[in-house]
Amino acid sequence: MSLAERNAPQRATPPPAASPPPGGATAGPDVPAGHARQVLRGTVDAVLAMRHAGTRKLRLAYELAGPADAPVVFLAGGISAHRHAASNAIDAAPGWAQGLLDAGRALAPGQRRVLSFDYVGADGSLDAPIDTADQADAIALLLDSLGIEALDAFVGYSYGALVGLQLAICHPARLRKLVAVSGAHRPHPYASAWRALQRKAVALGQLQCADDQGLSLARQFAMLSYRTPEEFGERFDAAPVLASGRVRVAAEEYLEAAGAKFVSRIDATAWLRLSESIDLHAIDPAAVRVPTLVVAIEGDRLVPLSDAVALVEGLGPGSRLRVLRSPYGHDAFLKETDRIDAVLAAELDPPRRPQASASPLSDRTGASV
């Protein structure tokens, strides 16, 4: 792998100082003196040796927000997540993880620098198999370009958790700790079957010259796997209705809206290849040598609690498991903002107090809340 070229990044506004730190900085009224808020958005041209697709020239798009002297946390979400995690001085639009980066949160850019990127293949230009280890290598290249020796932490949710595990294996010196939420060392066969059906829906749409319809249907299938029967029972417990001679159930409008929204923001080829990437994922937990917190959700139909337990049992010293109960299943990271923030705060800003020695079991397993 080699880094080809760093493109000029976007900056929030020109800083008053004559010699700003790399990337530029802006100071806002709520930023203490000496902690100029920095917002950096740019691209990096890189050459990446991929596991299944040969050597490729790629463009990595990133966004970095927070005080220049703050510790850096990499935040990675599901396959439809992207570099814009939250609103900032460059882009006021809400990001995919907006609630977790609001003021006062553990990931608030006023406390630390938050770095996110567009996954390799996210623009749809790479129609080839993509490994989660390829994503980890791309992150290492990005860190090189930005002059970041090591991340204070990597917080990964869903696909991001898989990428974080690979980063901890392939580039352990680049992160001090890993928080892996709703992700494991391998795809569960049930979840792989769900994704295979979703990909078939996209392929059928492509055969019919109806790419958008196929991708929308795949997303609607996915929503059923992300959420739980309990949530649907509470939200859509209504009698079906007749419309134009057809029966429509209460959840259909919700699912169709989710499909339409998804189609407007992701390319079909990108989605197919990143969906495949989840099913290609396979690691040996024992190879992870970075302190890791695994967060599992009871009722997650894609990453069952049993897989999270197996992952933690295979990880090295310093690994722990936290289990949350939520009606939102796999989507709990995005829906249970307060509770996820509390977990992150405890992990990223642990209280400094003496702790009594604990048994191996209690040291590695957290309570369900």
State the fold for domain 192-279. Answer: Rna Polymerase Sigma Factor; Chain: A (1.10.1740)
From the DSSP assignment, how many helices (H) and strands (E) are in the chain?
A: 11, 13
For residue 9, the model assigns a pLDDT of 58
pLDDT by residue (tens digit) across 273-311?
A: 999 999 999 999 999 999 999 999 998 999 999 999 999
| Across 88-97, 149-158, 163-172, 226-235, least confident range | 226-235
Per-residue model confidence (pLDDT) at position 121 = 97
What's the pLDDT band for 223 if we cut at 50, 70, 90? confident
Per-residue tokens: 121:
């293949």
- Write down the pLDDT at residue 99: 94
Q: Where are the chain's structural domains?
A: 2-186+285-368, 192-279
The domain at 2-186+285-368 falls in which architecture?
Answer: 3-Layer(aba) Sandwich (3.40)
The pLDDT, as a whole number, for residue 349 is: 87
pLDDT at 352: 58
Res 366: pLDDT: 53
Q: Where are the alpha helices (DSSP H) in the chain?
A: 132-146, 159-170, 189-207, 211-226, 229-235, 252-263, 268-280, 305-314, 332-335, 337-348, 360-364
Q: What is the pLDDT of residue 176?
A: 97
Averaged pLDDT of the chain: 86
Active site residues: 158, 300, 330
From residue 39, alpha-carbon distances to 19, 21, 98, 220 in Å are: 16, 12, 15, 35
Count of C-beta atoms within a 10 Å radius of residue 359: 8
What is the C-alpha separation between 202 and 271, in angstroms, rounded? 9
- Per this entry, what is the length of the chain? 369
SS3 84: coil
Q: Which two tokens stand for residue 144?
A: 């090189």
Read off the tokens for 10: 């976007």
Q: What is the pLDDT of residues 109-141, one digit of tens each?
A: 888 999 999 999 999 999 999 999 999 999 999
Burial 106-142, CB ≥16 within 10 A → b, else e: bbbbbbbbbbbbbbbbbbeebeeebbbbbbbbbbbbb
* Share of residues in the chain with pLDDT > 90 (%): 73
> Which pLDDT belongs to residue 7?
55
As a whole number of angstroms, the longest Cα–Cα distance in the chain is 70
Which residue, 286, 329, 315, 304, is CA-closest to 189?
Answer: 304
Q: pTM for this structure?
A: 0.84
Taking the C-alpha atoms of residue 228 and residue 182, their distance in angstroms, rounded to an integer, is 14
What percentage of residues in the chain have a pLDDT greater than 70? Answer: 85
The pair of three-digit structure tokens given for residue 120, joined into one six-digit string: 């390799």
